[in-house]
Amino acid sequence: MTASDKSRSANQMWGGRFAEGPDAIMQAINASIGFDQRLYAQDIAGSRAHAAMLAATGILSDSDAQAIGEGLLTVLSEIEAGSFRFRTELEDIHLNVESRLTELIGEPGKRLHTGRSRNDQVAVDFRLWVRDQCDAAVAGLTTLMQAFLKQAEAGADWVMPGFTHLQTAQPVTWGHHMMAYVEMFARDRSRLQDARRRMNECPLGAAALAGTGFPIDRQMTAAALGFDRPTANSLDSVSDRDFALEFLAASSICAMHLSRFAEELVIWSSAQFRFVRLSDRWTTGSSIMPQKKNPDAAELLRAKLGRILGATVALFTVMKGLALTYSKDMQEDKEQTFDAADSLMLGLAAMTGMVGDMTANRDTLRTAAASGFSTATDLADWLVRTLGLPFREAHHITGSLVALAETRGCDLPDLSLADMQSVHPGITEGVFAVLGVENSVRSRTSYGGTAPDQVRAQIARWTAALA
């Protein structure tokens, strides 16, 4: 079999897309420029900081460093203008930028890579990019929390049912429910801020894995790129992807919270609940059922968790079996992280829009809050406080009264005093004061409770904190 025949045979094996047999397949699996071109700004920033440091330490002449700095800005402008040609044969963003730099300025461009490796170069580029995503997500979460605060402020004393097991439990306020999500997203915000602090160390200068013999100044490059300090171990520097894993883990928890509220919007906007009305901006119609107003944005946002969580699991799987230091497996760290970051930012923006636009149906919320024997716990508490009964006995009496109300087809406040005294003769007219849903929520004055005054205090605390 001739070489040509072997090539044709390989093509048939691997598919017609590859014209040059295994070489083309290797290029396709090896090249990352199709996705890591997103790191161009970080790559150029890292290279400019590196060149400036090389000049300051006397490793590079001032004239060469100046030419490199100016040339890199030209490359940056070409990429941003869309005129830069990314070349697959150059594999990645680093070689694409360096090749074009050398075309522009000649010999000095070849000196840029002194004292570094693509291993520490990609580590600093990716860390800078993830750090930027942390900042963007924190800003997005702040805006989302402010949208929930506005809803909470508007309905701090609007009564609605609180649920356990999706069954009516006790009355709460709309404001209290909204503030629950402020607390959730505040933890997400804190996790991202904490991850950012931990990742803010600069791996540039670790070189391939062992550091370099050139008298570089890693403190200088770290400061130039906004890092707190250089990383302390060159082996760890090039093999660490904890910063991406932490970002993905925090993003997964945040996406789970987004998904939980998306689920509530799907339920609440249904004809069976009618708790909220979503604007036309965030709903779609049906091709055959004209009455439908589907909460598609909430449903799609609910599904985004799968992509983000999948990216987290994927990167854990990539990293779990890698001996020190760098392995090509780690090239698979970026695509899922890019996708997860895009999904998270889209989800935060969409949820902020939905929360800002949604309208709560106050009357429907109150009617639902007053149904399902939601003040049964208040009745039991009254029996304990007023009649001095043990709580377990009060619980039993209240259960009997609920059963009586069910047989009468009414709710607890609709029972007569005689009805109640038939279960326990000590009950007095005063019990009716605790059976209204407004009275119930006003009584929950413990710190963090649903009483409107408590809700307003939490709104004020968070409004000040976010300002």
Q: Would you please indicate which residues are annotated as catalytic (active-site) residues?
A: 165, 286
Task: Give me the sign of the Cα torsion angle 228, 233, 236, 239.
Answer: positive
C-alpha span between 275 and 65 (Å, rounded): 64
Residue 200: CB atoms within 10 A of its CB come to 17
CB-based contacts of 160: which residues, under 8 Å, 6+ apart? 171, 172, 173, 174, 177, 275, 365, 366, 368, 369
Q: Say which DSSP state 409 is in.
A: T
DSSP-based three-state secondary structure for 276 = strand
Cβ pair 243, 275 in contact under 8 A:
no
C-alpha span between 301 and 261 (Å, rounded): 10
**CA of residue 340 relative to chain centroid, distance:** 9
168 forms bridges with which residues in the sheet? 163
Could you write out the DSSP letters of every residue in 172-206? EEHHHHHHHHHHHHHHHHHHHHHHHHHH-EE-TT-
C-alpha span between 59 and 67 (Å, rounded): 15
DSSP-based three-state secondary structure for 266 = helix
At 29, list the tokens. Answer: 């699996």
DSSP-based three-state secondary structure for 375 = coil
DSSP-based three-state secondary structure for 191 = helix
At 86, list the tokens. Answer: 């990314």
| 365-369 contacts, C-beta under 8 A, 24 or more apart | 365/158, 365/159, 365/160, 365/161, 365/174, 365/275, 366/158, 366/159, 366/160, 366/437, 368/160, 368/161, 368/168, 368/273, 368/275, 369/159, 369/160, 369/161, 369/168, 369/171, 369/172, 369/437
DSSP-based three-state secondary structure for 164 = strand
- DSSP strand pairing (229-230 vs 201-202): parallel
Q: Say which DSSP state 19 is in.
A: T
Q: Say which DSSP state 69 is in.
A: H
Residue 254: CB atoms within 10 A of its CB come to 26
First and final CA of the chain: distance in angstroms?
A: 75
C-alpha span between 358 and 299 (Å, rounded): 15
